[in-house]
């Protein structure tokens, strides 16, 4: 039960990461924020920065592991207790493990599926129940979800599932004042290991990579217009139509050769 009078907010998951932070700054111009990530310290630091830049914006925070159902329930309770209703949801939280599937532990498989897929669905369900006005739901998938990616297999499958799910949801909520957009960026300059990987891909990496600010701005414009999918940048649009031109066997072999040389982990 809420102890506060109703307040409206943009709810952002993964707010403490590179892309989530860009969403937070972009959304702070248009109303109050409710931010979540796992780290209380990172959330507090982000809130302090936002307060300095946007003194008129109220920023609420709650640290939560979105792969844990009990923790998610605590987040939802905190949103309700604060009297918050949601007019925009930015599903940004995610984690990218890149390695041969045989090198995964059982825990890592579950973690990847939960954070990259289950978490977005559960938070979306909550936002639909606690919305106000026209609800904008913008979910950060990945261009990796457009086709199967060996050595990035779990991540690309989960991101592909996001596009499939949110495309179905759009149809279910048609006419109910809910805008639903999946964003599919290529490389985005966020963590140092991601930046190194983009640089390591040479010209192709540099052509397709974008800044988090660019991705957030394009995403917010797309969800305002209720676009089904947003692929920020010209090269990502090209990459997305390749499946129509190149045979699958050729594509997956090419990707396997490139990705088998790289490895990154997430926790
Ligand atoms: N960077 C890229 O090149 C790129 C490209 C395409 C798509 N994406 C997608 O964009 C999104 C953000 O990426 P990013 O580069 O900004 O990543 P990042 O800097 O690593 O940030 C990830 C965010 O997700 C949160 N998170 C991770 N595991 C979580 C968990 N179990 N529970 C709750 N929150 C959790 C992190 O919170 P804490 O830090 O507090 O733990 C952090 O806020 C992801 O979905 C990613 O797949 C990224």
Q: What is the pLDDT along the chain (267 residues), one digit of tens a residue?
A: 566 778 999 999 999 999 999 999 999 999 999 999 999 999 999 999 999 999 999 999 999 999 999 999 999 999 999 999 999 999 999 999 999 999 999 999 999 999 999 999 999 999 999 999 999 999 999 999 998 999 999 999 999 999 999 999 999 999 999 999 999 999 999 999 999 889 888 888 888 899 999 999 999 999 999 999 999 999 999 888 887 788 888 888 888 887 787 777 876
Whole-number pLDDT of residue 3? 61
Query: From ligand 1's centre to the CA of 231, what distance in Å?
Result: 18
Joined tokens for residue 28: 């702070």
Query: From ligand 1's centre to the CA of 133, what distance in Å?
Result: 28
Query: From ligand 1's centre to the CA of 95, what distance in Å?
Result: 5
Query: From ligand 1's centre to the CA of 18, what distance in Å?
Result: 7
d(CA 206, CA 189): 10
Q: Is 194 exposed, middle or buried (0-12, 13-18, 19+ CB in 10 A)?
A: middle
- pTM for the full model? 0.95
Query: From ligand 1's centre to the CA of 14, what distance in Å?
Result: 5
The set of protein residues with a Cβ atom below 6 angstroms from ligand 1 is 14-20, 37-39, 42, 64-67, 92-96, 115, 140, 142, 185, 187-188, 190-191, 194
d(CA 62, CA 68): 14
What is the CATH number that goes with domain 7-259? 3.40.50.720
Consecutive H or E run containing 218: helix 212-224
Whole-number pLDDT of residue 23? 98
For a ligand 1 pocket test, name from 34, 37, 115, 146 the mutation site with the most ligand atoms within 8 angstroms of its C-beta.
Answer: 37
**DSSP E strands, the chain:** 7-13, 32-37, 59-63, 84-91, 131-140, 178-183, 229-230
Joined tokens for residue 108: 């890592």
- The alpha carbon of 131 is separated from its chain's Cα centroid by a whole number of angstroms, namely 19
Q: Looking at ligand 1, which residue's alpha carbon is closest to its atom 13? A: 19
Q: Is 228 left (phi over 0), alpha (psi -120 to 50) or beta?
A: alpha
Phi, psi dihedral angles at 194 (to 5 degrees): -70, -40
d(CA 180, CA 16): 23
Whole-number pLDDT of residue 186? 94
d(CA 141, CA 185): 7
Q: Looking at ligand 1, which residue's alpha carbon is closest to its atom 19? A: 17
Whole-number pLDDT of residue 64? 98
Whole-number pLDDT of residue 102? 95
Instruction: Please choose, from the candidates 169, 148, 152, 170, the residue with its C-alpha nearest in 3D space to the C-alpha of residue 160.
Output: 148
Instruction: Please choose, from the candidates 128, 108, 130, the residue with its C-alpha nearest in 3D space to the C-alpha of residue 120.
Output: 128
Ligand 1, residue 114: give the atom nearest the CA: 31
């Amino acid at each position: 039960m809420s102890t506060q009078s109703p307040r409206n907010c943009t709810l952002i998951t993964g707010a403490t990461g590179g892309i989530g932070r860009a969403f937070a700054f972009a959304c702070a111009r248009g109303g109050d924020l409710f931010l979540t990530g796992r780290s209380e310290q990172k959330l507090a630091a982000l809130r302090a920065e936002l307060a300095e830049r946007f003194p008129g914006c109220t920023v609420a925070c709650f640290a939560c592991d979105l792969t844990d159902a009990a923790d998610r329930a605590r987040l939802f309770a905190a949103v309700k207790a604060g009297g918050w209703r949601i007019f925009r949801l930015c599903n940004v939280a995610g984690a990218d493990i890149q390695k041969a599937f045989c090198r995964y532990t059982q825990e890592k498989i579950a973690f990847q599926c939960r954070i990259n897929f289950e978490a977005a669905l559960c938070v979306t369900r909550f936002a639909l129940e606690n919305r106000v006005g026209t609800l904008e739901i913008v979910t950060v998938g990945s261009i990796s979800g457009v086709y199967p990616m060996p050595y990035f297999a779990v991540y690309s499958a989960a991101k592909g599932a996001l596009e499939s799910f949110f495309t179905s949801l759009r149809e279910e909520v048609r006419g109910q004042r809910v805008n639903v957009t999946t964003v599919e960026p290529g490389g985005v300059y966020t963590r140092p290991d991601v930046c190194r990987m983009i640089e390591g891909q040479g010209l192709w990496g540099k052509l397709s990579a974008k800044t988090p600010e660019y991705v957030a701005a394009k995403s917010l414009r797309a969800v305002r217009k209720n676009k089904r999918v947003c692929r920020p940048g010209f090269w990502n649009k090209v990459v997305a139509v390749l499946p129509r031109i190149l045979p699958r066997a050729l594509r997956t072999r090419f990707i396997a050769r490139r990705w088998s040389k790289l490895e990154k982990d997430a926790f």
